[in-house]
Chain A
Amino acid sequence: MWRTASAERDASIAGTGPPVPAIATSSLHKAFGRRVALHDLTLQVGAGEVFGFLGPNGAGKTTAMKILLGLVHPSGGQALLFGRPPTEPAVRHRVGYLPEHFRFQEWATGAELLDFHGRLSGLGRAERAERIPEVLERVGLAGRGGERVRRYSKGMTQRLGLALAILHRPDLVLLDEPTSALDPVGRRDVRGLVRELAAAGVTVFLNSHLLTEVEVVCDRVAIVSQGRVVAGGPLDDLAGAATQLRLLLDRVDADLLELVGRHGEVARVDGTAVTLDVDSLDVAADLATVLVGSGYRLYGLVPVQRSLEDVFVDLVGEVRER
């Protein structure tokens, strides 16, 4: 349903050279006056990937996305979409975008707005007549296209924004906080839409500060804080990189802390429970033997998988303290 002519063309010539990434940035830097919004962003998003760009508010996510669309000019570095600079209008045929504040001309109706954007993206009359009801239906606005945008609720406006973003069957969709105005049902709808796009081979670049959203749909993430990428990679690696062991004992004393300190770093002590940061869960077996051998009674030894949220809070917290 999403395949586009250009995507098919790319697929057919894929064998002739290395695949062109959907997004490639190198040392992207942006300063607004003295305030630096983006320090040094280098990342690649391959075609067909669902990429999460995570960070707290004001981290530079929206600035990065606007640079990718040619709306903001970088102070340094380079951004390429499918190998072309985004300031070239032609490459934007292949890109769909949902802006953070999803503000549209309120005097127009939803269908008129879609028609205008369809024309701008070069869709013919017949294509628009077919596609506009289709995307309205897809985002849950079937039958509401004739109403003025002014009368839409915030959630409906964001749904309209999603319809605009996928209207012209783009190869790359940039979504800036796509669920900020949606209720839980709406959020699930968006996750479904992202999965559908991914299944059709569309690249999705998602800005968010909502971790669950990203955790559920993204293949790869980059965590950005204060204009810098502080961590990145496949989601499993990131969440699993640092692991903890939770020990439940009959008593905790200085000797014990010294003993377990040889196998990892003590993160927390609550009463007779000790949480230990370890490099690998393999130390658990040794630890059990050593503790029992030293006369401690071990009631429990549980591995704790850190969630993306823990990783996020730790990383963002570290940057803020600097």
Chain B
Amino acid sequence: MLVVARWTVLEARRRKLLLAGVVLSIAFVVVFALAFTLLYHNQQRGLQTGEAQMGGPGGALAPRETLLLMSTILVVLGLYGVQFLAALLALFLGVASVSPEVDSGTLHAVLARPLSRLEYLLGRFLALAGMLIGYVVVMSGALLLTARIVAGYQAGDTTRVVGLMILQVLVLLAVSLLGSTVLPTLANGIVMLALFGLVWLGGIVQFIGTIPPGNDLMANLGTAVSLLLPADAVWRGASYHLMPPSLLVASSLAGQGNIELPFASTAPMAPAMLAWALAYPAACIGLAVAAFRRRDL
């Protein structure tokens, strides 16, 4: 299993996947840091000279809260970008994990070795998961650190933010790996992207459903889609922990109760959904192993 994992990492290095990932990630972090710093200082100056006022329809917030709100929005958007990239990466890696080796026939010689199909799949999953986790930790860490240094921004619970973002990539990697054991590469890629798009849309529908006066049908529809693939739901759970507690308190005091970002949530993740999301990768891998064992190569 570890032999396969090592081999998978070597493959990623050889195919310049790691290099491309690192270069693009550095570019992303640099752009974020620049944009964040510029916007923050701009806003700070504006507030000091009293030219800019920011606040919801319920009334203006104090300058300190306004700055905090702006930082939060920027951090949420930045991490939204990270999770989006990580999600796509997880899908691509998962889609390319098994079926191309089956299609090209390179797997014949490998599985003729004393290696069970379970060990092969777990080795692949471990290596890809390890690389994705590294990516999520480094990227979200870099963004949060930037926000902290520039604006003194303190997320509600950094560990849970990163933990849930990791859970999201594991969910996506596991489901695309499952697809990769039963579908040809191209078909799996199409199915996974469609599923990912559907879940994203489901999140938006659910968000709209929760805007007062609320729409139960839309909210339930969103939940149903999240059960199919709890990726967006887990991100929303992560985004809740991203909010500084003081902001949540302030915004509810200001009578809004909701920051109303379509990509984030101000409510924690439902425990049942969290449990489902935690069980989801294991279930996908279990199904993948069962399907792959029966398959003729």
A: which residues have CB within 8 A of B?
A: 32, 66, 69-73, 89-93, 95, 97, 99, 101-105, 107-108, 112, 116-117, 119-122, 161, 164
Contacts and interface: CB of A to CB of B under 8 A. Distances in A.
A108 B10 contact: yes
A70 B106 CA distance: 15
Interface stretch (B26-34, B110-118, B175-183, B216-224): B110-118
| From A91, A105, A161, residue with most partner B Cβ within 10 Å | A105
A164 B114 CA distance: 14
Interface of B is mostly: helix
A71 B15 contact: no
7 contacts: A66-B297, A69-B112, A71-B108, A89-B115, A92-B113, A92-B115, A120-B114
Given A66-B296, A105-B106, A120-B115, 11 more contacts: A71-B112, A73-B296, A89-B116, A90-B114, A92-B114, A92-B115, A101-B105, A104-B109, A107-B15, A108-B14, A112-B10
Interface string B10-28: 1100110000000000000
Interface size class of B (residues with CB under 8 A): 20 to 34
Interface of B: 3-4, 7, 10-11, 14-15, 104-106, 108-116, 119, 294, 296-297
Contacts, number: 73
Contacts of B112: 69-71, 92, 95, 97, 99
B15 A73 contact: no
A119 B116 contact: no
A208 B296 CA distance: 22
A95 to B, nearest CB: 7
A306 B147 CA distance: 86
B113 to A, nearest CB: 4
Contacts of A121: 113-114
Contact of B3 (A95, A101, A116, A161): A116
A89 B106 contact: no
A164 B109 contact: yes
A95 B108 CA distance: 13
Contact of B110 (A91, A107, A120): A120
A38 B56 CA distance: 74
Given A112-B10, A119-B3, A71 B114 contact: no
Contacts of A117: 109-110, 113
A102 B112 CA distance: 13
Given A92-B112, A164-B109, A103 B104 contact: yes
Contacts of A120: 3-4, 110, 113-115
Contacts of B111: 69-71
B296 A93 contact: no
Nearest to A86: B112
A117 B113 CA distance: 7
A161 B294 contact: no
Contacts of B15: 107
Nearest to B12: A107
6 tightest Cβ-Cβ pairs between the two chains A and B: A120-B113, A107-B14, A97-B112, A103-B105, A99-B108, A89-B114
A99 B294 contact: no
Nearest to B4: A120
A181 to B, nearest CB: 14
B113 A99 contact: no
Contacts of B108: 66, 69, 71, 97, 99, 101, 103
A99 B107 CA distance: 10
